[in-house]
Amino acid sequence: MNLPKKLLPLLLTVLTVSASKMPNIVVFLADDLGYGDIGCYGHPEAKTPHIDTLAQDGVRFTQHYSNGTECSPTRTAFLTGRYPQKAGGLECAIGTGNVGRYDDAIRLAESRQLGLPAKQTILPGALQQRGYSCAIFGKWHLGYEPQFNPMEHGWDDFFGYMGGNVHYFNHRELSDLHVLFKGRLPIHTEGYMTHLITDASINFIKEKKDQPFFLVVSHETPHFPFQGPRDKSKKVDESNWTTPDAPTYVAMLEDLDSEVGRVLKALEEEDLTEDTLVVFVSDNGGFAKAAHMGPLKGAKSTTLEGGIRVPLIMRWPGKIEPGTTSTQVCTTFDLTRSFVKLAGARVFPGRLDGYDIVEHLTRKKPDFKRTLYWRGKRGERTWTAVRDGDLKYVCKKEDKDEEWLFDLANDISEENDLAKERPQDLKRLKKLLSNWERNMRPLR
């Protein structure tokens, strides 16, 4: 059969897609999960068998970092594939009720522009162009105004809350603001937030099982308020909204594990396990005095290891070797580049800052040293850091400036400050950070 020449490229494209089916992608995005909050990362009490099995069937990372010290910046990096500083106003978690917490964010809030502009996002649009159905269920935290609703970013489906945290049972913010939405419309429903997010996720899997899908299961757990699934009658208000409760925290972790198990079971029942890349990760380090940080110093809102080094687990049967541990340094926006590459999508050159960490695993590439940067602002306080190879420079600016230099290869707990012993390295890393900050001009 002789085909017209103009049809040959189309035929080749169809054959290529058929020969290499695009995988489904499911991302469990936990909220404020400490580095040691999972059994396979060393939690002394919490039993997390489903997540632990996920690691046994795939790979567990020991040097994965969030791109932000708090929720909103990391989620910005995930959706844009860029350092969150480029977005403008999102270097700090958006405050309850759409409050800006540092100068640039305050400016944008006053003009009702505090949030992630849809035109800056890469996900989910890049995957949709390749035929993926895309949904996010749970926490959003990238803007309260209607123009920042997930549906304006191109998601096919959304159920969840617009802010940073809600009462797990009445789904309202501490300010009593109603922020629960289904698509673009406010919704009222009954149930424990973690379970509702799982229910929506399972329904989506069943509905979209015959086409490639991208699903973000964006859990609130274990973010405050501290309410387990049996705490419906527990009084939670302004007096104890952020008060740590150790037994409840463990109950929340174990319930999160059960809900991960429910989603994994749904994939198995629909015969989708082999065709699905599953990712489990946290948006930043744990909440101080609640989370278990393992050997790490610091917590959420800092650029010490406890604030930015977080769990990352991946499973992709037949592609990622099971039962492995990766020490490759990586960060949130590496997932963005990986997903875009997996889908065969195209983006403009220079739009992505990350590295394809999935390909790194599937092709068994050798680990390599990286240079990564962080900056988090809140009020008059600014935390910055740069990691270059194993050396890390950390700076905190508030009432007075404090700075440290650590060798993470020998001092994961950041106990031994080398700033005075290694002045040349201190100077070099400070210059790296200064040059990076100079190039981090926001797009608005």
Nearest to 257 by CA among 207, 219, 299: 219
Residues 353 and 425 in one domain: no
Let me know whether 358 and 423 are in one domain: no
Q: Are residues 125 and 167 in the same domain?
A: yes
* 88 in the same domain as 45: yes
Cα 270 to Cα 202: distance, rounded to the nearest angstrom: 10
CA-wise closest residue to 310 among 337, 289, 329, 336: 329
Phi, psi of 385 (to 5 degrees): -165, 155
3-class secondary-structure state, position 278: strand
Considering only CA atoms, which of 62, 59, 65 is closest in space to residue 364?
A: 59
CATH number at residue 185: 3.40.720.10
Residues 95 and 373: their CA atoms lie apart, in Å, by 24
13 in any annotated domain: no
Residue 1 domain-assigned (yes or no):
no
Domain boundary among 316, 336, 370: 370
Q: How far apart are the first and last CA of the chain?
A: 56
Asked if the structure places residue 216 within a domain, the reply is: yes
Note whether 103 and 116 are same-domain residues.
yes
For residue 163, the 8-state DSSP code is: S
Residue 442 to residue 327: CA distance in whole angstroms? 32
Identify whether the C-beta of residue 212 lies closer than 8 Å to the C-beta of residue 23: yes
76 and 161 in a single domain? The answer is yes
Tell me which residue of 413, 404, 402, 405 sits closest to 389, measured CA to CA.
405
Would you state the pLDDT for residue 294? 97
Domain membership flag for residue 60: yes
Instruction: Specify the DSSP element, H or E, that contains 315.
Output: strand 312-315
Please say which residue of 342, 370, 398 terminates a domain.
Answer: 370
93: tokens are 């978690």
In a domain, 9, yes or no: no
Give kind and range of the element (H or E) at residue 137.
Answer: strand 133-139
CA gap 199, 193 in Å, rounded = 10
In terms of domains, do 333 and 400 share one?
Answer: no
Domain that holds residue 377: 373-439
391 with 243, same domain: the answer is no
Tell which phi-psi region holds residue 389, choosing left (phi > 0), alpha (psi between -120 and 50) or beta.
Answer: left
Say which amino acid occupies 270: E
Instruction: With respect to residue 156, please indicate whether it lies within any of the assigned structural domains.
Output: yes
Long-range contacts of residues 316-321, Cβ cutoff 8 Å, at least 24 apart: 316/23, 316/58, 316/276, 316/277, 316/278, 316/358, 316/362, 317/57, 317/273, 317/274, 318/274, 319/23, 319/277, 319/361, 319/362, 320/58, 320/59, 320/358, 320/361, 320/362, 321/59, 321/361, 321/364
Instruction: List, in sequence order, the alpha helices (H) in 270-331.
Output: 305-308
Residues 288 and 401 in one domain: no
Residue 207 contacts residue 152 (beta carbons within 8 Å): no
pTM for the structure as a whole: 0.95
Contacts 24+ apart (CB under 8 A), 173-176: 173/96, 173/97, 174/96, 174/225, 174/237, 174/238, 174/241, 175/96, 175/97
Among residues 319, 353, 370, which one ends one of the domains?
370
| Same-domain check for residues 164 and 265 | yes
In this structure, the answer to whether residues 117 and 259 fall within a common structural domain is: yes
Amino acid at 8: L
Under-70 pLDDT residues of the chain: 1-20
Query: Is 296 within the bounds of a domain?
Result: yes
Contact 382/375 with Cβ under 8 angstroms?
Answer: yes
Residue 276 parent element (H or E): strand 276-282
In degrees, rounded to 5, the angle at the alpha carbon of residue 255 between the alpha carbons of residues 251 and 260 is 150
| H or E stretch at 16 | helix 8-19
Within-domain flag for 203: yes
Could you give phi then psi for residue 147, rounded to 5 degrees?
-70, -10
Task: Specify the CATH number for the domain of residue 400.
Answer: 3.30.1120.10
Backbone angle region of 170, left / alpha / beta, with phi > 0 → left and psi within -120 to 50 → alpha:
alpha
Distance CA 258, CA 178 (A): 27
As for how many domains the chain has, the answer is: 2
Answer yes or no: do 210 and 155 share one domain. yes
